[in-house]
Amino acid sequence: MKKTTRILFALAALLFLGACSAEPAAQHDFDESRYFQPITAKMSLEHGYLRLDYTLGVPNQSMTFLLKNQDVSVVTVNEWYMNETDNIRLYYAFCEPGKSDGIREEDWKLAWPDIKPGEESSRKSRPRRSSLVLQPNNSTLIDVPLTFLEHAEPPRRRARYTVALYAQIALNTLQTKSEVFEIPVSPKTKDVEIE
């Protein structure tokens, strides 16, 4: 009986050791081009409620954008990043009130992501993604920090500024951009206009 138990134990050990292989499992390459297909549905990117109390030099200000499915079918964005602010870019330029349509292309500055000259992007090489599913006529909210207001240098000292903004989705599969719009911005200190 003891001999049979030893033989069975030895066979079980061989089966177990045979199942544990030192060879690595086959690598599965993820084909992004096949999975992340371009989205042709009608989508819009709009700003949410605009406050009237944006201020230069003040931290923790933000703005909300709405990515809306204006199509009649469900839209799935497989390329969507889990960190919602990774999905959008925001650009700004100082201008005269009502003159945002005359801003030259080279005058627009990147407001978000907040990457200062000489810095590298903080995004990891393989950021986490989670598919975004939008039903017809539904939208998702994207809160964008307005960190540029903390360190932006306006062209002149004034009692009030006008800042033109536009946003665009920062994905390869979705080319959606907002209209250019303007917001009033006050300086942190009450300066009188100097021309």
Give the pLDDT mean for 69-83: 95
Average pLDDT over residues 163-182: 95
State residue 159's pLDDT score: 84
Phi/psi at 67 (5° precision): -95, 115
- pLDDT tens digits, residue range 97-124? 999 999 999 999 999 998 655 555 555 5
Q: Rounded to whole angstroms, how far apart are CA atoms 61 and 163?
A: 14
Q: Give mean pLDDT, residues 172-186.
A: 95
Q: Residue 192's pLDDT band (boundaries 50, 70, 90)?
A: very low
For residues 141-159, one letter each, b for 16 or more C-beta atoms within 10 angstroms of the residue's C-beta and e for the rest, the string is ebebbbbbbbebeeeeebe
Q: What pLDDT is stored for residue 36 in this prediction? A: 81
Amino acid, res. 1: M
- Strands in 161-169's sheet, in edge-to-edge order, are 54-55, 181-186, 161-169, 88-95, 109-112
Cross-strand pairs, 31? none
**Longest distance between any two alpha carbons in the chain, whole Å:** 105
Average pLDDT (52-71) is 94
Per-residue pLDDT, 30: 54
At residue 30, the 3 state secondary structure works out as coil
How confident is the model over 28-55, as a mean pLDDT?
82
Domains of the chain and any CATH numbers = 33-186 (2.60.40.2360)
- pLDDT of 57 strictly over 60: yes
Give pLDDT, residue 114. 80
**If you average pLDDT over residues 22-35, what whole number do you get?**
55
Q: Rounded to whole angstroms, how far apart are CA atoms 136 and 133?
A: 10
Q: Name, in order, each residue with C-beta under 8 angstroms of 7's C-beta and a sequence gap of 6 or more.
A: none
pLDDT (mean) for 130-135: 94
Percent of the chain at pLDDT exceeding 90: 60
